[in-house]
Amino acid sequence: MQDALRLLETLVNMDTGSRCLDGLASASSWLRERLEELGFAVEQYAHAAAGPTLVGRRFGAGRLRLLFLGHYDTVFDAGEAARRPFRVRDGRAYGPGVADMKAGLITLWESLRALNAAGWDDYAALVVIHNADEEVGSGASRGIIEAEGRNCDLCLVHEPGRHDGSVVTARKGVGRYTLAVRGRAAHAGVNPEDGASAVVALARKILEIHALNDPSRGVSANTIVTAGGTRSNVVPDLAEAEIDLRLPTAAAGAQTIARLEEIARVEHLPGTRATLSGEINRPPFEAGPGSMALFELAQEAAAMLGFPLSAATTGGGSDGNFIATLGVPVLDGMGAVGGGYHGPDDYLDLVTLPQRAALTALLVREACRREDFLRRPG
């Protein structure tokens, strides 16, 4: 535990916000050394607008190919690590990104260290990806993640477990869109009738977008206005909104996007027109039979270790969404558990760090004994 805490302290005290490119470059060198200590051959991929992506590989004598995902960027700005550095109090560790997901990386490393100590090599390949842009959508690293996912038999994601210790078997897809409405400017006092208010048209569209929310199906649509007019005495000719969609299934996603496109097409106010841009940047991670079989094996492993384990779904996306869409069994939320994620008081429950490391090690060992997780011959 003390060795793990020293590693965690070092990592938490590095500024690794998604836009802190200098901090991410420094952290990537340190991460690479840790992976090499675990016997991985590491490739580093540079990106123009994101921190490096690390891909570590080890080869063994077994048949299964396992992929482990864990990002090292956080949502915090430069200087946050100095403002509130790593500290431990009353069984909890604190610091920026301590649970989401720096402790997840330590959890994974400690599980692999334990397997190394046991001389275990019953796998065809272990692939570890540490990327630096997950918190901003994984635009730079997505292709690397998907390429490795196509060649793996199962995937574990060391995002933090849920507050009750549950692991994650499904995540909603995430869509990010921009709706821009163009109108016609006019003097608000002299000739307002000659204008066409883009703000009014956008407001009507926002009400229709809000109606897309359907808690019974797990669909949510949140809209914020990012631009709307210039000054109060001018009928506004431009208004824009950003839309966040959370979609539980591919089918629900297709229906919701079709309706969103229809809302954009309709002329809610004569003289105005709208354009919609954006994409589903994380497809839904649906709980397929392979992922549920992996969860059931994790439950068995947890019982062997003396604690219960439950499954949960969540509205937040992760890089596991990309792998699940490929048909690969994925178990997410395998990291240590904490709370206050993305906030100024984020913390880690220290007791869960060795617990989740043991769970990972045992699950990996047991999965590699099961032929039913082998997706391809060879």
Distance of CA 227 to the CA centre of its chain: 28
Q: What is the pTM for the complete model shown?
A: 0.93
Please give the pLDDT value at position 378.
Answer: 42
Per-residue pLDDT of 356-365, as tens digits, reads 999 999 999 9
Distance CA 105, CA 243 (A): 32
User: Residue 258: pLDDT above 70?
Assistant: yes
**What per-residue confidence (pLDDT) applies to 376?**
60
Fill in the DSSP letter of residue 52: P
Which residues are within 8 A (CB) of 16 and not within 5 positions of it... i.e. 6 or more apart?
A: 23, 24, 27, 51, 72, 73, 74, 97, 132
Write out pLDDT tens, residues 42-78: 999 999 999 999 999 999 999 999 999 999 999 999 9
Asked whether residue 246 carries a pLDDT value surpassing 90, the answer given is yes
CA torsion angle 162 164 170 172 (round to 10): -60
- φ/ψ of 127, rounded to 5, equals -125, 125
- pLDDT over 80 at 302, yes or no: yes
- pLDDT band for position 252 (50/70/90)? very high
CA–CA separation, 101 and 128 (whole Å): 15
Give the pLDDT score at 30. Answer: 98
List of residues 6+ apart from 262 with CB closer than 8 A: none
Angle between helices 2-12 and 103-117 (to 10 degrees): 140
Q: What percent of the chain has pLDDT over 90?
A: 97
Rounded Cα–Cα distance for residues 210 and 208 (Å): 5
- The span from the CA of 271 to the CA of 257, in Å, is 25
Write down all domains in the chain, each with its CATH number in brackets: 2-172+285-373 (3.40.630.10), 173-282 (3.30.70.360)
Q: Which residues of 25-34 are buried (b: 16+ CB within 10 A; e: fewer)?
A: eebbeebbeb
* Look-up of token digits 């043991």: 358
